[in-house]
Chain A
Amino acid sequence: MNGLDVERIRKDFPVLSRELPGGRPLIYLDSGNSSQKPVQVIDAMRDHLALHYSNVGRAHHALGAESTEAYENARDKVAAFIGAPSRDEVVFTKNASEAINLVAYAFGNPLNTDERFRLGPGDEIVITEMEHHSNIVPWQFAAQRGGATLRWFGVTDEGRLDLSNLDELVNERTKIVAFAHQSNVLGTVNSISPILARARQVGALVLLDSSQAVPHKPVDVTELGVDFVAFTGHKMVGPSGIGVLWGRSELLDAMPPFLGGGEMIEAVWMDRATFAPIPHKFEAGTPPIVEAVGLGAAVDYLTEVGMPQVKAWEQHLTGYALDALAEIPGLTVIGPRTLVARGGTVSFTLKTPGGFDIHPHDVGQILDDVFGIAVRVGHHCARPLHLRFGIPATTRASLYLYNTTDEIDALVRGLRHVQKVFE
Chain B
Amino acid sequence: MIAESMYQELILEHYKHPQGRGLREPYDTEVHHVNPTCGDEITLRVKVESGKVADVSYEGQGCSISQAAASVLHELAAGNTVEETLAVVDEFTRLMQGRGTVEADEDVLGDAVAFAGVAKFPARVKCALLAWMAYKDAVVRSS
What is the distance, in angstroms, from A337's C-beta to the closest C-beta of chain B? 25
What's the dominant secondary structure at chain A's contact region?
Answer: helix
A361 to B124 Cα, complex, angstroms: 9
**Which residues from A are CB-within-8-Å of B124?**
361, 365
Query: B63 and A369: CB pair below 8 A?
Result: no
Size class of the A contact interface (CB-based, 8 Å) = 20 to 34
Query: B64 and A370: CB pair below 8 A?
Result: no
Most B CB contacts (10 A, CB to CB) among A361, A368, A421 go to A361
Query: A22 and B2: CB pair below 8 A?
Result: yes
Query: A370 and B1: CB pair below 8 A?
Result: yes
A388 to B16 Cα, complex, angstroms: 26
What is the distance, in angstroms, from B10's C-beta to the closest C-beta of chain A? 14
**Which residues from A are CB-within-8-Å of B121?**
365
Query: A378 and B1: CB pair below 8 A?
Result: no
A379 to B39 Cα, complex, angstroms: 8
Q: For chain B residues 1-58, which have a beta carbon within 8 Å of chain A?
A: 1-4, 6-7, 12, 16, 37-40
Query: A365 and B6: CB pair below 8 A?
Result: yes
Contact of A383 among B2, B4, B39, B40 (CB under 8 A): B39
**Which residues from A are CB-within-8-Å of B38?**
361, 377-378, 393
**Which residues from B are CB-within-8-Å of A360?**
63
Contact with B along A16-32 (1 / 0, CB 8 A): 00000010000000000
Query: B1 and A359: CB pair below 8 A?
Result: no
Q: For chain A residues 331-390, which have a beta carbon within 8 Å of chain B?
A: 356, 358-362, 365-366, 368-370, 377-379, 383
Query: A393 and B39: CB pair below 8 A?
Result: yes
Residue of chain A at shortest CB distance from B62: A359
Query: A22 and B39: CB pair below 8 A?
Result: no
Query: A392 and B7: CB pair below 8 A?
Result: no
Query: B4 and A370: CB pair below 8 A?
Result: yes
A360 to B39 Cα, complex, angstroms: 11
Query: B39 and A392: CB pair below 8 A?
Result: yes
B101 proximal to A (CB < 8 A): no
A320 proximal to B (CB < 8 A): no
B70 proximal to A (CB < 8 A): no
**Which residues from A are CB-within-8-Å of B67?**
359
A22 to B3 Cα, complex, angstroms: 12
A356 to B64 Cα, complex, angstroms: 12
What is the distance, in angstroms, from B17's C-beta to the closest C-beta of chain A? 11
A370 to B2 Cα, complex, angstroms: 7
Contact of B62 among A366, A370, A392, A421 (CB under 8 A): A392
B61 proximal to A (CB < 8 A): yes
Contact with A along B99-143 (1 / 0, CB 8 A): 000000000000000000000010010010000000000000000
Contact of A362 among B2, B39, B61, B64 (CB under 8 A): B64
Contact A370 B3, CB 8 Å, known A365-B124, A392-B39: yes
**Which residues from B are CB-within-8-Å of A378?**
37-39
Interface residues in chain B, defined as those with a beta carbon under 8 Å from any beta carbon in chain A: 1-4, 6-7, 12, 16, 37-40, 61-65, 67, 121, 124, 127
Q: List 25 A-B contacts (CB under 8 A).
A: A356-B16, A359-B62, A359-B63, A359-B67, A361-B38, A361-B40, A361-B62, A361-B63, A361-B124, A362-B63, A362-B65, A366-B3, A366-B7, A369-B1, A369-B3, A370-B3, A378-B37, A378-B38, A392-B39, A392-B40, A421-B4, A421-B7, A421-B12, A422-B16, A422-B64
Extra 15 A-B pairs, beta carbons < 8 Å, given A361-B40, A361-B65: A361-B63, A362-B7, A362-B63, A362-B64, A366-B3, A366-B4, A366-B7, A369-B1, A369-B2, A369-B3, A378-B37, A379-B39, A392-B39, A421-B12, A422-B16
